């Protein structure tokens, strides 16, 4: 059974041609109080680790080197019993450090892929193998592409040599590099 909706007459006041709803002050105060309480409950409370950067630096330096119980006792000795985080907080802090490290690694990999890094997820097989890239840079243009592929297969193995089209794309990229730098230098002068 659908609920009945009650309609209220809302008082409206105009201030500088803007309409505002007129609400009793006690209702507005209750609304603000509830909002502040809700936000305070969602806001992460600062832990002893976050409040004291020395503890955070110590925990980051001993990450994975000692058992947690030993680290807990080291914290109690070094920072005092009232400032030492609990074992549970140490585990939580380490989990956060690991997540941040994983995100930073993923971000770095994404940046390399987006901004022309050689070892991103979409990098070509030539870019991933620096010896092959150097060999192709010296031999492409001096021989026919089929001869270059045969020489690459003999030198690096058939499974490590990319396709003919990938080698041709790499060759095109090599040929375009000098013209790009020259035009960019001329534009800045």
Question: Mean pLDDT for the chain?
Answer: 78
Domain holding 108, by residue range, is 48-114
3 found inside a domain? no
6 found inside a domain? no
SS3 (DSSP) at 52: coil
The confidence score (pLDDT) of residue 98 equals: 79
2 found inside a domain? no
Q: What is the pLDDT of residues 35-58, one digit of tens each?
A: 877 776 666 667 788 888 899 899
Residue among 52, 129, 116 nearest 85 (CA):
52
**What is the domain count for the chain?**
3
7 found inside a domain? no
DSSP string, 155-167: HH-GGGS--HHHH
SS3 (DSSP) at 96: helix
Give the confidence band of 121 by pLDDT, cuts at 50, 70, 90.
low
Q: What is the pLDDT of residues 154-184, one digit of tens each?
A: 998 888 888 888 888 888 887 776 544 444 4
Q: What is the pLDDT of residues 53-75, one digit of tens each?
A: 899 899 888 877 888 889 999 99
Angle at 77 (CA atoms; ends 75, 81), nearest 5 degrees = 75
The confidence score (pLDDT) of residue 118 equals: 47
Given 61, 79, 114, the domain boundary residue is: 114
The confidence score (pLDDT) of residue 92 equals: 86
Same domain flag for 172 and 131:
yes
Q: With beta carbons less than 8 A apart as the criterion, state whether 112 and 119 touch.
A: yes
SS3 (DSSP) at 82: coil
């Amino acid at each position: 059974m659908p609920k009945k909706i009650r309609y209220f007459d809302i008082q409206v006041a105009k201030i500088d041609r803007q309409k505002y709803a007129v609400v009793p002050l006690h209702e507005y105060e209750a609304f603000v109080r509830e909002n502040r309480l809700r936000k305070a409950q969602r806001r992460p409370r600062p832990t002893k680790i976050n409040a004291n950067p020395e503890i955070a630096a110590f925990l980051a330096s001993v990450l994975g080197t000692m058992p947690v119980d030993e680290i807990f006792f080291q914290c109690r000795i070094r920072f005092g019993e009232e400032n030492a985080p609990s074992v549970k907080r140490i585990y939580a802090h380490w989990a956060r450090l690991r997540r941040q490290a994983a995100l930073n690694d993923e971000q770095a990999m994404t940046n390399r892929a987006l901004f022309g890094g050689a070892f991103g997820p979409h990098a070509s097989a030539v870019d991933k193998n620096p010896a092959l890239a150097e060999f192709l840079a010296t031999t492409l243009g001096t021989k026919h592409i089929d001869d270059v592929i045969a020489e690459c297969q003999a030198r690096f193995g058939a499974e490590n040599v990319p396709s003919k089209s990938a080698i041709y794309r790499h060759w095109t990229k090599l040929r375009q590099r000098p013209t790009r730098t020259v035009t960019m230098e001329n534009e800045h002068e």
